[in-house]
Structure 1
Amino acid sequence: MRILHLLASPFFSGPAENVALLARAQRDAGHEVTVAVDRRRKDVPAEEPAVPRFQELGLLDEGGLELSVKSPPWRMWSDSRRLRARQVDVVHSHFSHDHFLARWGRPRGAVLVRSLHAPRSLRSSLPAADAYTVPASALLPKLLERGKRARVLPALVDPRFRPEADRASLRRELGLTGGPLVGMVSTFQPSRRHVVGVEAFAKYRQQRPDARFVLVGDGGLLDVTRNQVKALGLTDAVVFAGYQQGADFARWLKALDEVWLLGLGNDWSARAAAQARACGVRVVAVDEGALPDLADARVAEPTPEAVVTAALSDVLSPVAHPTNARIAADVLALYADAAGGVRR
């Protein structure tokens, strides 16, 4: 099967990592897979650029698509013509710009699949496609009720996320002491509820006095959080690890006993929860996006008291997260089902 993923972003962030892992798993299953990304915006100093990463993975599409929301109309028209001339079996679009282009430039005989990565995309004016994916099971009924072909596309996990063989040594290397080690791994923004997390940790420490809180990330509310930690007298028990990515992020995650995920950003697949589970780290999470599917203990409501109750419950989920190969097989089955519908 010849598969072309469209990802109109110059950044290797948000859904990009999930798309890369899906494309790799599809390629490993014997299919011809490439990913087209935004080739217009080359200056992306604030984030990791997508082109080098997809190039390194051998997945970068070289079919001449500019695929940018910043493209002028004549370049979008050129993209549409180039796409229409492609010889592919599946066009899998991931952003609204991709889907607009694919709707008007769909290659003859190709199946069009649209991935929705956040609930805001699931609206009454949803553009037509042969099949859809959603990031969480809670969103699936809304498509099935409309008679759409749809499946959940869960978070895929890079192989670097696996249990640490010598966690004690890793913690020494990172300068971490005490225990249990509880963490939050997300951007410091209102939707992630660090204020709730810090207050919950203060209460949690009344029951676990040797506990330490590790906060990985950066963002606009970082100083607010630092001030809250100081005001609650938690300075010696809280570690601000800063922004981490790649192998460094994996190391910090592996060092934890438990991670608290108290809110989501733009990507509702809850990739951090899947990564934590793969590392053998317990997940305590609120009821948002795919978090309920991945949590060991669910937080009934986003309050400090509810977080502490869930954290102290010691509940572990018996449900294993699917492998990348299993997820890829499910998506390939969706393609085949959609292709059958197109032929009929």
Structure 2
Amino acid sequence: MKARVEDKIDMRHRLRIVHVITRLINGGADENTVHSCNWAAQGGHDVVLLHGESVHPEIMAKVDPRVKLIGVPSLTRSISPVSDVRALLALIRRFRALNADIVHTHTSKAGILGRFAAWAAGVPAIVHGVHIVPFVNVGVAERFAYLALEKLAAPVTSAFISVSAGIRDLCLSAGMGRPDKHYVVHSGFDLDRFRNAGPPDDWRDLLRLTPGAPRPPVLLMIAAFEPRKRHAEFLDVFKKVAVRLPDAVLVLAGDGPLHSIVESRAKWLGLERQVVFTGYRDDPERLIALADLCLLCSMREGLPRVVMQYLAGGKPCVACDLPGLREVLRPGINGVITPADDLAAMADAIAAVLEDRERLACLAQGAAATDLSNWDVKLMGKRIDAIYREALDQHRASRGVSTRPPVRNVALPR
């Protein structure tokens, strides 16, 4: 969709913006990156998106045609000294050739290599998007390595953009950069798409209902099938829910490397009748409209967009405690928060909410009434643009060059 006239960027201040991400899959950080690229390109900036070799066609199809896509095959998610050096050198060459004003990196690996490469290439402003904190809920050695690299990269980082205040605070407490370099910009999306959705037309087939069968209680979790999402571990405790509510159906939407393993786990646990695997769906808003209660049991996240999408769809959420989650999920009002290390407690909470229909209805009302204006995708784009401008002005000021007038009407969120 083309940007409206009032969303257009002053062409006198057109920027060359290069985004860098390790992979483009169906995840929150990837969708955030695509939205950021699209908004800037639709407003008139020159935008390039550099990505590693791991890509999904569904997310690639969402990239605006005005955004130039360039693959960097050596940019891989796993640690590989040879590939990492190649990726670093490739990124330096790209940044120099593109003559970038801004380099905006996303995710941990691309964030480290991309920022060092941008510094070596002399890019004026280097911005890092913090979608998740890589040093939380990991081993001691992994935590030490991540923190050491992040602290090395912090001095060359013009601005950090965190998806929640909780993530920003974790970064600052770990010594990653100065407070004045950190901003919070929530990961925006199309709110109306989720507020106005109805269930899928084929919802009865999706739930595998026989003709005339009543609609069962529906639980929904939308998440990529990756270790940190803990699908398999959740299925182990979901058996408790299945015993208390034998007619409940758990819908697991998404795809990823662990999909087949989790599906096999469900069969081994005897849950084939109560667990539905949808694979990737391009209509998450319709699945949310179908659900009674939505879930997230990740061990590590930023402030996941999917929780806001649940609430935008008017559905309460039961989630494990995560940094920043309480900015929007309020226990007893629009959801339930359980300890991050106790999935059994999460299962108990799910069953308790489903068994109390009056409580469920109250939580649904609270979800629908949640103020999500800070997650508007256009506001996200405007705030990021303002941060770019401030970073460039600070760069010019450090060189004794006069700065342009500040961007008006967009508060910079610290």
TM-score (norm 1): 0.77
Task: Say if 1:188 and 1:222, in contact at 8 Å, map to a contact too.
Answer: no
Unaligned runs of 5+ in 1: none
Q: Structure 1 292/227 Cα, relative in aligned 2: closer, same or farther at 3 Å? A: farther
Partner residue in 1 for 2:119: 103
What code does the residue aligned with 1:338 have? A
Task: Say if 2:87 and 2:113, in contact at 8 Å, map to a contact too.
Answer: no
> 5 Å matches for 1:1-344?
1-9=14-22, 11-14=24-27, 15-28=29-42, 30-38=43-51, 41=53, 48-49=56-57, 52-53=60-61, 57-61=65-69, 66=72, 68-69=74-75, 77=89, 79-94=91-106, 95=110, 96-107=112-123, 110-120=124-134, 123-124=147-148, 125-127=151-153, 128-144=156-172, 146-148=177-179, 149-157=181-189, 161-163=193-195, 165-167=197-199, 169-172=201-204, 174-175=206-207, 177=209, 178-194=215-231, 197-198=234-235, 201-204=238-241, 210-217=247-254, 218-228=259-269, 230=270, 234-236=271-273, 238-247=274-283, 249-264=284-299, 268-295=302-329, 296-301=334-339, 302-309=342-349, 312=353, 313-314=359-360, 315=363, 316-317=366-367, 318-321=369-372, 322-344=375-397
Q: Structure 1 50/290 Cα, relative in aligned 2: closer, same or farther at 3 Å? A: farther
Higher relative contact order (CA 8 A, sep 6+): 1
What code does the residue aligned with 1:6 have? H
State the Cα distance separating 1:186 from its structure 2 match. Answer: 2.6
Partner residue in 1 for 2:407: none
Q: Deviations over 1:220-268 (max 9, x none)?
A: 333123322x1xxx543x1322421324x55434422221101156x63
Task: Say if 1:113 and 1:131, in contact at 8 Å, map to a contact too.
Answer: yes
1:100 is paired with a residue whose SS is: helix
Stretch deviating more after TM superposition (188-197 or 270-279): 188-197
Q: Deviations over 1:41-63 (max 9, x none)?
A: 4xx5xx5159953665421257x
Partner residue in 1 for 2:406: none
Give me the whole-angstrom Cα distance separating, in 2, the residues matched to 1:78 and 1:195. 38
Unaligned runs of 5+ in 2: 1-13, 77-82, 136-145, 210-214, 354-358, 398-414
Give me the whole-angstrom Cα distance separating, in 2, the residues matched to 1:19 and 1:132. 14
Give the CA RMSD over aligned residues. 3.6
Give me the whole-angstrom Cα distance separating, in 2, the residues matched to 1:73 and 1:196. 36
What code does the residue aligned with 1:244 have? Y
Give me the whole-angstrom Cα distance separating, in 1, the residues matched to 2:125 and 2:115. 12
1:288 is paired with a residue whose SS is: coil
1:220 is paired with a residue whose SS is: helix
Structure with greater helix percent:
2
Give me the whole-angstrom Cα distance separating, in 1, the residues matched to 2:88 and 2:346. 49
What code does the residue aligned with 2:17 have? L
Number of residues paired by the alignment?
Answer: 327
Calculate percent identity across the aligned residue pairs. 18
Give me the whole-angstrom Cα distance separating, in 1, the residues matched to 2:72 and 2:244. 56
Q: Structure 1 35/282 Cα, relative in aligned 2: closer, same or farther at 3 Å? A: farther
Stretch deviating more after TM superposition (10-19 or 160-169): 160-169
Q: Structure 1 10/216 Cα, relative in aligned 2: closer, same or farther at 3 Å? A: closer
Task: Say if 2:37 and 2:47, in contact at 8 Å, map to a contact too.
Answer: yes
Task: Say if 2:15 and 2:102, in contact at 8 Å, map to a contact too.
Answer: yes
1:139 is paired with a residue whose SS is: helix
Q: Structure 1 168/273 Cα, relative in aligned 2: closer, same or farther at 3 Å? A: same
Stretch deviating more after TM superposition (273-282 or 206-215): 206-215
Give me the whole-angstrom Cα distance separating, in 1, the residues matched to 2:218 and 2:245. 10
Give me the whole-angstrom Cα distance separating, in 2, the residues matched to 1:219 and 1:305. 26
Give me the whole-angstrom Cα distance separating, in 2, the residues matched to 1:129 and 1:235. 49
Q: Deviations over 1:284-305 (max 9, x none)?
A: 2111245444433232323333
Task: Say if 1:10 and 1:50, in contact at 8 Å, map to a contact too.
Answer: no
Task: Say if 1:8 and 1:97, in contact at 8 Å, map to a contact too.
Answer: no
Give me the whole-angstrom Cα distance separating, in 2, the residues matched to 1:226 and 1:103. 51
2:276 is paired with a residue whose SS is: strand
What code does the residue aligned with 1:18 have? N
State the Cα distance separating 1:196 from its structure 2 match. Answer: 5.5
Task: Say if 2:19 and 2:37, in contact at 8 Å, map to a contact too.
Answer: no
Give me the whole-angstrom Cα distance separating, in 2, the residues matched to 1:259 and 1:332. 33
Q: Deviations over 1:139-183 (max 9, x none)?
A: 212445652411234333257942465438452353455232112
